[in-house]
Structure formats: structure tokens, C-alpha cells
Structure 1
Amino acid sequence: MSIRRAAVLGSPIGHSLSPVLHRAAYRELGLADWSYDRFEIDEARLSRFVGELGPEWAGLSLTMPLKRAVIPLLDSVTATAASVEAVNTVVLAPDGTRTGDNTDIPGIVAALAERGITEVPAAAVLGAGATASSALAALARICTGEVTAYVRSEARAAEMRHWGEKLDVPVRTADWSEAAAALEAPLVIATTPAGSTDALAAAVPERPGSLFDVLYEPWPTTLAAAWSERGGRVVGGLDLLVHQAVIQVELMTGRPGPLAAMRAAGEEALAAR
């Protein structure tokens, strides 16, 4: 059996749970000759790193700031990745062909579906940026009505309207100062950095809908804890991380990713931090 390699690249990368999740998958699948590492790679070093990959490489996971920088280095990009101009997965064929994909989008859809959320009449997105555009792409599949994006600047608002047009999702933008109103939506997706939504916890409605908070550390966030206390349904960042990694494992190995084993490994690693 030939040795096969995969890794996650990004900067900073020390916090990444990807090695824990993928190695757990390899153990569960009996892939003893597979390895998964992490490399501190920024945009300046990416081209050389990718160019030097040998035939033993099966795939790469990419985090910030590489999700757009990698695109010119690829032979092809899937429609899913092209829809948000962001690649978080590179699959390397035996002949060296490099295909870029995005597992964040189906990962969001799968994490929501696991909690019974398969269709919503409207949604709110807190924040802008790469994760927010992936959230919009996921909502294109499950939201039948308008999405309201709450952002901090007109430049960010214009960006979200652009993605809405590209993804064929009706997007209305509102200023961050109005973000408490977002919590009335049937589904709220929070894509902001740690601490950004803490002040909104006091505004959680008496009967909240569903919250998808993409953070996994620290967990629960102040908003997620308040949401749970009110009886609302909460999906967390670890759910997204695991579901998108399950898809990566299948793309790289050709075998279905073992969800339960990967989630257990992620929970154990977070508990130990």
C-alpha cells in the first residue's frame, strides 16, 4: 500500500482542529498509510509549496488567508467553489491535476439538516466576509425568502449585495447597530469573530428560532448560551467544522467520512484545551 499525504495550510494554523478530525477518520477507516499534517503557509509561500507537492499527495485543506489565493494555482474549480470564489479543499489526482472545491457550503447545509433545519422562509446573517458568503450560498439551497445581512460598513453591505446577486439570493442589508432585530429571524447565522455578538445576548427573543454560530472556541458563545436558555435550536462551529471535514475526507480518500468518530475526536480535543 502506498503512502498518501494530506494537510491543512494557513496562517495562523496552530489552532486548527483539522489534523485531529482527519486523523480520526483515517483511524476509523483503517487507512494506516495515510497522514495528515499542518503547515504554516501564507500567500507569499503558497505557490512554491503547491508546486513542490509530489505524487504521494492526495489533498489539501485551506484556511485563511489562502482560500482565494490558491485559485490561480489550480487546474479547475468546482461550481460550488466558483460561486463564492473561495476554495477550502484541493483534491490532487494521481496525474497531479489540482481541483479546487468548497466544502464549507455543503457543510453548512449538512450541519443544519442534522438538526432538522432543511428549509426556512427567511434568514439573517451577522457579518460579512468569506464565511458570510458561504452562508449565503448555503441559504440559496434552503431559504425560500429574503436574507438580511447586518454589517458594519457600506463597503461590506455592497459586498453582501454582490454575493446575493451572484448566488440569486434576495439580500437586504442593514447596519450593525440594528443587529438586535436579526434575532427575530427564523434562522440566524452568526459569522463574526469571538465577542462580536456578546452584546446581542440580552436581545434574544422569548421564543427564538434557530441560531447557527460558526465559532467553536470559546463555546458556547454568550449569544449561543442565551439562545439555548430560551429554548432555541443552536448549531455550533464544531458542527460545521466536522461536516465540512467529512466531505473533505470523502473527496480525498474516496471513502465516506465517519461523522461520529470525527465529532468525538473534535469534542475531546476542544475539552482538553
Structure 2
Amino acid sequence: MSDLRRLAVLGSPISHSKSPALHRAAYDLLGLSWQYSAVEIDGDRLGEFIGSLDASWRGLSLTMPLKQDVLPLLDSIDEVAAITGAANTVLFDAGSRRGFNTDVGGIVRTLREAGVHEVSRGVLLGGGATAASALVAMSELGSREVRVLVRRPGAAVALIELGSRLGVRVDEGRMEELDTIGRAELVVSTVPGGTDLGVAASAGLIASATLLDVAYDPWPTPLAAGWIAGGGTVVHGLGMLLHQALLQVRIFVNGDPNEPLVDEDAVLGVMRAAIS
């Protein structure tokens, strides 16, 4: 492999992305003269873009909805991407396009860092692709019962099916139930940043459950602000971004999300500093 390699995060909009800062900090510390940029692109142009890349390209990070759009363009995907139906990472490896999902690992790692190691009952807000990753993460933490709150009836059908495959009982409810749910160990919100849910969480839920809000811009979200005001524990969405990016760096450098980097604690430290 030559010293100069190219990588990018793709999405639309993408100018706000913190991924370039995260990745550049990591490669600088590792002594790699790799270029990581942000490219504005939508699903209609994704195939053409990937097909135009030359041998200097090592990989891509993807935002929604490209995480789903990219699947038909890949030669292989890892088990997590297959389960969730979304790949947020593409590795160009010896002429092959390999897809990975590091969002699940990012959620699990940031929750464990915050002291959440085991969950029996969880609540999930939203029914999209990020919610699928959150459900798999809850399963990895031991959850066997998850209530999914959505705005549109039937929006949780795919998550109910996914839960069946994972051995997790998933029930659908409406977002308005947030103020009536009494207890849980974990609440994960996957709704877009800045969204006003139109309902506040119950005092009992705030007191019993840690909230992970995967949105991080603007911060705090209305939900997180209410949780903090109620004296509850909130995990910042930047934690998921940080930890999923570290797993991406493992993939781009080592070809394997499970193989730690050399001096990984220091790498994580400079990445954290880059977005703090």
C-alpha cells in the first residue's frame, strides 16, 4: 500500500460533518499521510461516484440515506450490516468493495463508557435505519424487551421483524406515550436533531433511564434538555459519533473493526479532543 491514501465522508448535506476532524486527528497521530475529505453527494449519484474512484482510495464513510443506497454496490458486507440493512463504511480492499456497520459498535461503546453495561428493558424513539442499529445495540447489552415509539402507525414493522430475529420482543407505540412510560433502563432517541417531539418524558422514566440521544447538532436537543432539567442522565450523541469513527479507523488501517489500533487509547484521545 502506498503512503498516500484517500478517504471521504459522503452525504447531503455534509458541510457540517465532524468526520473529517475525527479521522484526520487519528491518521496524523498514526503517522499516516492520508487525505480525508467531505463530499456532497446523494443516492442518485452514488454509484457513478464510487465507480469513478481510482486505486488511491482506501474507503468511505456514509451518512443516511446512503447507508442503504450503497448496499447493492458492494461485493460483501459484514454481519452487522446484513442484520441492520445498512452499511456506514466501505473499504476498498484488493479490488473488492467491503461494507461494514460501525454504528452498532459505536452505540454499545459509548453506553459502556457512560456506565451502561446491561439493559433489560429499553425504549427506542424513531423507526429508521439508525433505530435498527440502536435495537441491535440494545440486544447486545442484554435487552429482551423494547418499546418503539413512532409518529406514524406501522413505522416500526421492520424493527418488530428485526427484534424477532434477535430474540427481542419489540412493541410499537405512539410518541405521545413518552409521558406515561414509568420505568426503563435505557432510552435511545434516533429522531433528527432539533425535533420537538411535542411531549415530555415522564418523571419516572427520567429518573430510571439513561438517555442516549444520537443527535448532536444542535445540542442539547429538546428531549435532552428536558432530561437534564429533570435531573436525569444523558449521554451526548457525539459519543456514538466518536466511537463509530474509531471503529472505522480500525477498518481503514487494519481491515478489521475488531482489531485494535496501535496505541489506540492515544488515538481515541486525539479524536475526542478534535470534536470537544
Partner Cα distance (1:122, 1:202) in 2 = 16
Flag the 1:50–1:6 CA change in 2: closer, same or farther, 3 A. same
Partner Cα distance (1:174, 1:123) in 2 = 13
Structure 2 SS opposite 1:87: coil
Superimposed CA distance per residue, residues 121-165 of structure 1 (whole angstroms, 9 cap, x where no aligned partner): 100001110111110011111133310001112230323212222
Q: Give the corresponding residue for 2:59.
A: 59
Matched, 1:123 2:122: yes
Superimposed CA distance per residue, residues 40-97 of structure 1 (whole angstroms, 9 cap, x where no aligned partner): 111111111111221111110011221111111111010110001100000111x221
Partner Cα distance (1:9, 1:217) in 2 = 18
Q: Give the corresponding residue for 2:17.
A: 16
Q: Give the corresponding residue for 2:272.
A: 263
Flag the 1:195–1:10 CA change in 2: closer, same or farther, 3 A. closer
Flag the 1:184–1:236 CA change in 2: closer, same or farther, 3 A. same
Matches within 5 A, 1:99-118: 99-118=98-117
Matches within 5 A, 1:72-91: 72-91=72-91
Q: Give the corresponding residue for 1:236.
A: 236
Partner Cα distance (1:34, 1:79) in 2 = 28
Is 2:85–2:129's contact at 8 Å kept on the other side of the alignment? Answer: no
Matches within 5 A, 1:241-260: 241-254=241-254, 255=261, 258-260=267-269
Shift of 1:208: 3.5
Q: Give the corresponding residue for 2:167.
A: 168
Matched, 1:148 2:147: yes
Partner Cα distance (1:201, 1:30) in 2 = 47
Q: Give the corresponding residue for 2:184.
A: 185
AA aligned opposite 1:219 = W
- Unmatched tracts of structure 2, length 5 or more: 255-260
Shift of 1:113: 0.5
Partner Cα distance (2:108, 2:215) in 1 = 16
Flag the 1:225–1:200 CA change in 2: closer, same or farther, 3 A. same
Q: Give the corresponding residue for 2:38.
A: 38
Shift of 1:166: 3.2
When structure 1 is superposed on structure 2, of 52-61 and 204-213 the one drifting more is: 204-213
Flag the 1:119–1:260 CA change in 2: closer, same or farther, 3 A. same
AA aligned opposite 2:20 = P
Q: Percent identity of the aligned residues?
A: 47
When structure 1 is superposed on structure 2, of 242-251 and 203-212 the one drifting more is: 203-212
- Unmatched tracts of structure 1, length 5 or more: 268-273
Shift of 1:204: 3.6
AA aligned opposite 2:8 = A
Partner Cα distance (2:101, 2:168) in 1 = 19
Partner Cα distance (2:143, 2:159) in 1 = 18
Q: Give the corresponding residue for 2:30.
A: 29
